[in-house]
A and B are shown apart, each in its own frame.
Chain A
């Protein structure tokens, strides 16, 4: 059954790439920066189970949204559930989860280069080291043992190898050729970070963190900061959130801060010495060095599906509303906690990315 689906995907791929090939072979025109060379990109998951996700563009001033830019440029859609995107200097890789597809586009124009489907199975997030992309894949969500990190050759746009990992790999980051994967656990619960050598293409070690590690970033000292939300009540074994700092030289947890059993924090953002996280409709700010779960909320009464602190310090919160209509990106001043602007984006906005 799966095979016939892949055959279909390839068939569709061939079909669509015929159209784009025409564009690709137009004689090179003088280098002009396309409309999307600067500003921000928003991934919108799109409606669950039917329909497709989109990518919106927001201008540098965070005022004007251009909707569904991939569709507008390519007269095609990105597929079902746009999970994340990753960019290099000139290329954007948009990962579509249910459609198991990576759509490769020119960064400044969003013109499609190719669609990759072979070798992907429920892809989630990608990190780039040199000429390779590393993509977390759930595999079949019902099977705990088929999860992997796919290695994408960015020159050939082919998956060249896979690295088997534990259940539910989600966020992925890298430093000095070493890859760190947070195992959120897919539809279940997991509590580890996998450390992968990009050279050896194998798992060097796993580090235990809190249940359901949802975000991981490096601090200014190069240590890995992990936020786990804890196991939710419906698992029958509820655990609280956990903040963990990992020394990447020894791959051990050097600091752990526990939340109470019913607190499930999310959306870690490390900005300089500060840490922002989201819990129960409020945004909290504390510090890496002296992480506390008892700081005062800087923003409350919000309803975020994700949040990102942009480089100018603005907080971009994705509000998916009722998940069945267009969402918004809410921009907040993190110093004063005031709402600066609300931008209308697509259905179920999942993240905001700064074009750099």
Chain B
């Protein structure tokens, strides 16, 4: 059995060697749920958020990524609706990918990053740049990837975390996993609740009213080695995720609120992997359910419901012509139905065909071509092409390039909305974008430096506007142009038993509406983050700082939310640290300098606040 397992490892290693010139961390004993991410991001920057970074923050993905990436989050206060702006693109142009599947809402086209809890995933990656060819609609500015791994031969282990923080915030996380030579299983719960009633700084009596939330994310993953003989391996995998969120939407400085909102999302994915030395086949079937209930008055039971159910089947075939050439073909069909109080019950069938050709020309130069054609009922979907290369032109230096066409299809809301004062438009065209980026990366020993320039040109952006009868309706109206620079540094220094890790990122983003010549709303020209972590034996400490430039809140750039700089500080100590057993306590101060800041106009964020956590691993 051991040998068979080793065999998989070898296959996977070979795969990654073929694929990689980038020095991305891929643990060989780990079976990733989405090999595409590492394998088909030629010329694209991937940024892995480490597990220790995730553990430091409260669980909402908004909080993790805001402090650890240059993505700008338009967050309606803690726990409220939070959408991402990647390279100045809008909320529906950032894809969230769960175990290889784009899970942006079929209704809104967006992901609410406060309904995505970060604990209990094994992989959290940020992929900057166009990814529509492999990840579908909406992967324009970039994508955020959540992955669950399968690992054999790890025995039984369990991690439990309990935490308490300001504003009566309670956290509980547990995950247990078991594996032997051919079987893997894990189950995890991630729960948080908060009164979230923080005082608004610089006001006398105002506080975050009606902001309570509680949410629970449950995961379940299984892997079974069906057959592992000769040069062929068959593996079955199952990934499941259930999210239950209940929250009220807080008011603003100028408007009260008594809204309530419930999210119920489930995702289930079954995979059969057929792996060999030259040919890999992966068959996937998935069921993805999303449902919300909106309560205009949370004191009553009256609510508006919206839901979608999506069935997906996908086959991915990779043929390795030799160690340096591989062709991947992916065929996918989706059947989606949506219904709700304000949406005409309807279904949509879509199919897509993707071809990826990748070749390592020399040991220094790898290139890839990608193509996608999608057929969507009722819409003309564009033919997408992309190309990229990685060129290690000198020791430690890599030059990267990627250019692609990307798209976003109109959502169910865009096409079929029918509610008070608004009506969808079934005649919309998909949004399209042409984009390119060029980068330079230096990886040497304990120092990584990256510099990238990007350009995005989007056409036919869908925007909701009142028509001549005063009814709001979406049209393909705006064209936008984005360009900018991203810079990053990772540096690790060890002196004796002291280890210092530094991460710095900076993004300059110019994103303009072509007709107006004005910066798009809620896109900061500058965002920078700096984290320094220090470890000495059982003691770790860190400081996270971020600087965000002002953002405009009106399309004519006459009103703005001021820029801000905030710092978080934390420390952890391993009270117990033995083979297989660990007891750790953590303390964290958010917004150390009690800065009064907003990410959305008139929605203040909390001042200085605290979080205590204890984690037991056994």
Pick the residue among A11, A142, A323 that contacts B466 (CB under 8 A): A323
In the complex, the answer to whether B600 meets A50 with C-beta atoms within 8 Å is yes
Classify the interface of chain B: helix, strand, loop or mixed: loop
Given contacts A47-B601, A50-B603, 9 further A-B contacts (CB under 8 A): A2-B299, A8-B256, A11-B205, A47-B554, A50-B601, A52-B254, A305-B466, A320-B466, A323-B465
Q: How many Å from the CB of B559 to the closest CB on chain A?
A: 8
B300 close to chain A: CB less than 8 A: yes
Interface residues of B in 412-428 (CB under 8 A from A): 418-423
Chain B positions within 8 Å of A, measured between CB atoms, are: 204-206, 209-210, 251-256, 258, 296-300, 302, 418-423, 463, 465-466, 468-471, 521, 553-556, 558-559, 600-603
Q: How many Å from the CB of B73 to the closest CB on chain A?
A: 16
A264 close to chain B: CB less than 8 A: yes
Pick the residue among B252, B463, B521 that contacts A49 (CB under 8 A): B252
Known contacts: A8-B206, A51-B553. The answer to whether A142 contacts B300 by CB under 8 A is yes
Q: How far is the CA of A60 from the CA of B300 in the complex (A)?
A: 49
In the complex, the answer to whether A143 meets B468 with C-beta atoms within 8 Å is no
Q: List 17 A-B contacts (CB under 8 A).
A: A8-B205, A12-B204, A15-B204, A47-B601, A50-B252, A50-B253, A51-B252, A98-B254, A143-B297, A143-B300, A187-B421, A188-B420, A233-B423, A234-B422, A264-B469, A324-B554, A325-B556
Contacts of B253 in A (CB 8 A): 50
A280 close to chain B: CB less than 8 A: yes
Q: Which residue of B lies closest to A140 (CB)?
A: B297
In the complex, the answer to whether A79 meets B255 with C-beta atoms within 8 Å is yes
In the complex, the answer to whether A266 meets B553 with C-beta atoms within 8 Å is no
Q: How far is the CA of A79 from the CA of B422 in the complex (A)?
A: 25
Contacts of B296 in A (CB 8 A): 140-142
A291 close to chain B: CB less than 8 A: no
Contacts of A143 in B (CB 8 A): 297, 300, 302
Interface string of A42-71 (1 = CB under 8 A from B): 000001011110000000000000000000
A314 close to chain B: CB less than 8 A: no
Q: By CB atoms of chain A within 10 A, which of B204, B469, B521 has the most?
A: B469
Q: How many Å from the CB of B158 to the closest CB on chain A?
A: 40
In the complex, the answer to whether B602 meets A5 with C-beta atoms within 8 Å is no
Q: How far is the CA of A77 from the CA of B559 in the complex (A)?
A: 15
Q: Which residue of B lies closest to A233 (CB)?
A: B423
Known contacts: A50-B600, A52-B254, A77-B254. The answer to whether A322 contacts B465 by CB under 8 A is yes
Contacts of B470 in A (CB 8 A): 264, 266, 305
Known contacts: A99-B254, A266-B470. The answer to whether A234 contacts B297 by CB under 8 A is no
Pick the residue among A5, A52, A233, A324 that contacts B256 (CB under 8 A): A5
Known contacts: A5-B256, A50-B602. The answer to whether A325 contacts B554 by CB under 8 A is yes
Q: How many Å from the CB of B555 to the closest CB on chain A?
A: 4
In the complex, the answer to whether B554 meets A12 with C-beta atoms within 8 Å is no
Q: How many Å from the CB of A282 to the closest CB on chain B?
A: 9
Q: How far is the CA of A305 from the CA of B468 in the complex (A)?
A: 9
Q: How many Å from the CB of B255 to the closest CB on chain A?
A: 4
In the complex, the answer to whether A8 meets B209 with C-beta atoms within 8 Å is yes
Interface string of A309-323 (1 = CB under 8 A from B): 000000000001011
Q: Which residue of A lies closest to B300 (CB)?
A: A142
Q: By CB atoms of chain A within 10 A, which of B206, B256, B423, B600 has the most?
A: B256
Contacts of A142 in B (CB 8 A): 296-297, 300, 302
Contacts of B556 in A (CB 8 A): 325-326
A32 close to chain B: CB less than 8 A: no
Contacts of B554 in A (CB 8 A): 47, 324-326, 347
Q: How far is the CA of A75 from the CA of B468 in the complex (A)?
A: 37
In the complex, the answer to whether B254 meets A322 with C-beta atoms within 8 Å is no
Interface residues of A in 274-310 (CB under 8 A from B): 280-281, 303, 305
A221 close to chain B: CB less than 8 A: no
Known contacts: A15-B205, A47-B553, A187-B420. The answer to whether A280 contacts B255 by CB under 8 A is no
Q: How far is the CA of A69 from the CA of B376 in the complex (A)?
A: 52
Known contacts: A8-B209, A324-B554, A325-B554. The answer to whether A303 contacts B468 by CB under 8 A is yes
Known contacts: A8-B205, A8-B206, A142-B300. The answer to whether A234 contacts B419 by CB under 8 A is yes
Contacts of A51 in B (CB 8 A): 252, 254, 553, 559, 601-602
Q: By CB atoms of chain A within 10 A, which of B253, B299, B419, B420 has the most?
A: B420
In the complex, the answer to whether B256 meets A99 with C-beta atoms within 8 Å is yes
Task: List 5 tightest A-B contacts by C-beta distance, closest first.
Answer: A80-B255, A325-B556, A50-B602, A187-B420, A325-B555
Q: How far is the CA of A281 from the CA of B468 in the complex (A)?
A: 5
Known contacts: A140-B296, A325-B555, A326-B558. The answer to whether A280 contacts B205 by CB under 8 A is no
Contacts of B558 in A (CB 8 A): 325-326
In the complex, the answer to whether B468 meets A280 with C-beta atoms within 8 Å is yes
Interface residues of A in 1-48 (CB under 8 A from B): 1-2, 4-5, 8-9, 11-12, 15, 47
Contacts of A213 in B (CB 8 A): none
In the complex, the answer to whether A2 meets B469 with C-beta atoms within 8 Å is no
Known contacts: A142-B300, A266-B470, A280-B468. The answer to whether A1 contacts B422 by CB under 8 A is no
Q: Which residue of B lies closest to A185 (CB)?
A: B420
Contacts of B463 in A (CB 8 A): 322
Contacts of A232 in B (CB 8 A): 421, 423, 469, 471
Contacts of A98 in B (CB 8 A): 254-256
In the complex, the answer to whether A1 meets B298 with C-beta atoms within 8 Å is yes
Q: How far is the CA of A15 from the CA of B437 in the complex (A)?
A: 54
Q: How far is the CA of A140 from the CA of B297 in the complex (A)?
A: 8
Q: How many Å from the CB of B517 to the closest CB on chain A?
A: 13
Contacts of B553 in A (CB 8 A): 47, 51
Q: How many Å from the CB of B92 to the closest CB on chain A?
A: 16
Q: Which residue of A lies closest to B302 (CB)?
A: A142
Contacts of A140 in B (CB 8 A): 296-297, 300
Q: Which residue of A lies closest to B552 (CB)?
A: A325
Q: How far is the CA of A104 from the CA of B254 in the complex (A)?
A: 18
Contacts of B422 in A (CB 8 A): 234
In the complex, the answer to whether A50 meets B521 with C-beta atoms within 8 Å is no
Q: Which residue of B lies closest to A52 (CB)?
A: B254
Interface residues of A in 224-264 (CB under 8 A from B): 229, 232-234, 236, 264
Q: Which residue of B lies closest to A188 (CB)?
A: B420
Contacts of B297 in A (CB 8 A): 140, 142-143
In the complex, the answer to whether B252 meets A280 with C-beta atoms within 8 Å is no
Known contacts: A47-B553, A47-B554, A323-B465. The answer to whether A234 contacts B471 by CB under 8 A is yes
Contacts of B418 in A (CB 8 A): 234, 236
Q: How far is the CA of A236 from the CA of B419 in the complex (A)?
A: 10
Q: How far is the CA of A218 from the CA of B468 in the complex (A)?
A: 27
In the complex, the answer to whether B469 meets A280 with C-beta atoms within 8 Å is yes
Q: How many Å from the CB of A48 to the closest CB on chain B?
A: 9
Q: How far is the CA of A2 from the CA of B259 in the complex (A)?
A: 11
Q: How far is the CA of A220 from the CA of B44 in the complex (A)?
A: 72
